Amino acid sequence: MAARASSKTSESSDKVSVICRALRRAIIEQALEPGAKLPEDALGERFGVSRTIARHALGQLAAEGLVELRRNRIAVVATPSWQEARDAFDIRIELERLVVRQLAGKLTKAQIAELNAHVDAEDRARGGTDAVSIRLATEFHILLAHMTNSPILVRYVSEVAYRCCLTLSLYSRPHSTECAINEHRAIIAALAKGDAAKVMELMHHHLDSVANRALVAPTPQRGRDLLDILAPYADEVTSNRVVKLPKIARRG
Amino acid sequence: MAARASSKTSESSDKVSVICRALRRAIIEQALEPGAKLPEDALGERFGVSRTIARHALGQLAAEGLVELRRNRIAVVATPSWQEARDAFDIRIELERLVVRQLAGKLTKAQIAELNAHVDAEDRARGGTDAVSIRLATEFHILLAHMTNSPILVRYVSEVAYRCCLTLSLYSRPHSTECAINEHRAIIAALAKGDAAKVMELMHHHLDSVANRALVAPTPQRGRDLLDILAPYADEVTSNRVVKLPKIARRG
DNA sequence: AGCGCTCCAATTGCATGCAGTTTGGCCTTC
DNA sequence: GAAGGCCAAACTGCATGCAATTGGAGCGCT
């Protein structure tokens, strides 16, 4: 029997949603790097909509954590700190353990075939760019979440997976995706077999190793924002009076 | 040592954010029941802003799952199905186990005092309305999440806790909050003692029992939307051709 | 050069206006 | 009296316009 009865969860076809999807994809494929500016005007013009719509889309993406919004400032693609990246992975591990726990032994043959087909696609994409491989790997996890047919779970897994994607582009060294693909296959096998404990363990290990491979170390030099680095020092000052520094250069 | 260095995570003071906060609170205190209509005009007038802003706020709340938005239709306070409510609690259990796992043994004396003070407040509020008790209980959990100082975790725990709040107002029988308060105290004690496994178990049991006390059973009668009830039946029909019924009366 | 100042283009925050869609009542018809 | 069609009011989807804020170029001073 299928994990649950099917139901639609796709986003509506508002102009706002269209822009959200486009930006989301651009971000996770690293066409837009973390820190990239996203002026409302430019987005509106690019997508043929008014600034109102672009603004609304940015609001949605900010709610998902993909975009940072500060009052009266240009929106930028989010630049998670190393710690936030690690936190995201920790949350992701728990959520996806829940996913596979619900799914173990409950998948139809068709669903298993769909999963295998996806991993095949990942395999074929191994020659391509890293960005595509990462996107496909992420989509595998989202596909799993969809099969639980819990819209809330889908939403959270998707969001946190996208965030992880984002951090991979920030902190990851060019990494081989082969073992990840094998781990995907192992997860499918354990799901089919119905061994919940085993598949939870597999998923945990899989995500943990992806995180460890990517988040090499708290390398404060690489892509970190100066203010983040100084934050712990500033915290020791009375929070109102900010330390006066000789012109802090923020990354453009 | 504190769980982590402190940092601000509060929402900005946009008009949009103000409206979001107000609506969120109104919803979780059941001033706005699930299904209540939220026309943009009315909200704008009530809060002294334009429809644009009200609309944006509704978009944010929809992203949090507190509001349902359908194209060209009046926004309504979300009406989660029983299954969605159960899913929300399942996710919440995992997230909050993560919270206490990170917090066990890492709290400062000041933080423990803050937690105790909050539970004292819960105690004092026992005479008041159920809505206030539920809100305070929820805020205890959010306070815990804040102490991890992981913004992502705070966001997810808050969201899912609010959603649970919402479902409590839908499905819960008037329930006594006393045992919940005692469980909160037990969690604080275990956190102070630093017994991670124990406190995870406590949190799991606490949330599970809240869920079980509230989500008594798949009672299709109470507050459920007629279309939800009929959904499983409709699923057995070819999905395109909808069963013709003699004028379905939706809850107004 | 390096630092501080002023001013203007770029950009956001928000309200309003118009067009298209839905809703709910009324009227006709059976 | 019930079913169905019609129409106005209500409401949303979206673009545009205006005021306020920002940040960076240019300029003078040390």
Task: Sketch the domain layout of chain B as residue ranges.
Answer: 15-79, 82-214
Least confident of A132-136, B39-43, B51-55, B193-197: A132-136
The ipTM value here is 0.83
Compare CB distances from B150 to A87, A155, A232 and report the shortest one's residue.
A87
In chain A, whose CA is at the least distance from the CA of B7?
A235
What's residue A174's pLDDT?
61
Neighbours of B31 (CB within 10 A): 11
Strand D and A50 CB separated by under 7 Å:
yes
Contact list in B for residue A225 (CB cut-off 8 A) is none
CB pair distance less than 8 Å for B59 and A64: no
- Compute the average pLDDT of residues A125-142: 86
Q: Is the CB of A39 under 7 A from strand C?
A: yes
pLDDT at A241: 34
Q: What is the pLDDT of residues B152-178, one digit of tens each?
A: 999 999 999 999 988 887 777 666 666
Question: Which tops the pLDDT comparison, A201 or A223?
Answer: A201
Q: Which two tokens stand for residue A2?
A: 């299928």
pLDDT value at position A133?
84
Could you tell me if B214 lies within 8 Å of chain A, comparing CB atoms? no
Asked whether residue B251 carries a pLDDT value surpassing 80, the answer given is: no
**DSSP, residue by residue, chain A:** --SS----------HHHHHHHHHHHHHHTTSS-TT-EE-HHHHHHHHTS-HHHHHHHHHHHHHHTSEE--TTS-EEE----HHHHHHHHHHHHHHHHHHHHHHTT---HHHHHHHHHHHHHHHHGGGS-HHHHHHHHHHHHHHHHHHHT-HHHHHHHHHHHHHHHHHHHHH------HHHHHHHHHHHHHHHHT-HHHHHHHHHHHHHHHHHHHS-S--SSSS--HHHHHHHHHHTS-SSSPPP-S------
Q: Which residues of chain B lie closer than 8 angstroms to A156, CB-CB?
A: 91, 156, 160
Q: Report the CATH superfamily, name and number, of domain B82-214.
A: GntR ligand-binding domain-like (1.20.120.530)
What CATH number does the domain located at B15-79 have? 1.10.10.10
Element (H, E) at B77: strand B75-77
In degrees rounded to 5, what are phi and psi of residue A76? -130, 155
Q: Which residue, chain included where needed, has tokens 């460890």?
A: A212
Which bases on strand D have an atom closer than 7 Å to a protein beta carbon? Answer: 3, 10-17, 21-23
The confidence score (pLDDT) of residue B244 equals 35
Chain C nucleotides near the protein (CB, 7 A): 3-4, 10-17, 20-24
A75 CA to chain B: closest CA distance, Å?
14
A15-79 and A82-214: same fold? Answer: no
Closest chain B residue to A87, measured at CA: B150
d(CA A200, CA A161): 17
The full DSSP string for B98-118 is: HHHHHHTT---HHHHHHHHHH
Q: Check whether B6 has a pLDDT greater than 60.
A: no
pLDDT of residue B175: 62
A179 or B30, which is more confident?
Answer: B30
Query: Is residue A105 less than 8 Å (CB to CB) from chain B?
Result: no
Say whether the CB atom of B38 is under 7 angstroms from strand D: yes
pLDDT value, residue B7: 44
**Distance (Å, whole) CA A143 – CA A157:** 10
B157 CA, D15 C1': Å apart: 38
Mean pLDDT within B99-104: 98
Q: Which of B86-90, B227-231, B239-243 has the lowest mean pLDDT?
A: B239-243
- pLDDT tens digits, residue range B123-163? 998 877 877 888 899 999 999 999 999 999 999 999 999 99
Mean per-residue pLDDT for B91-117? 97
**Statement: the CB of B53 is under 7 Å from strand C:** yes
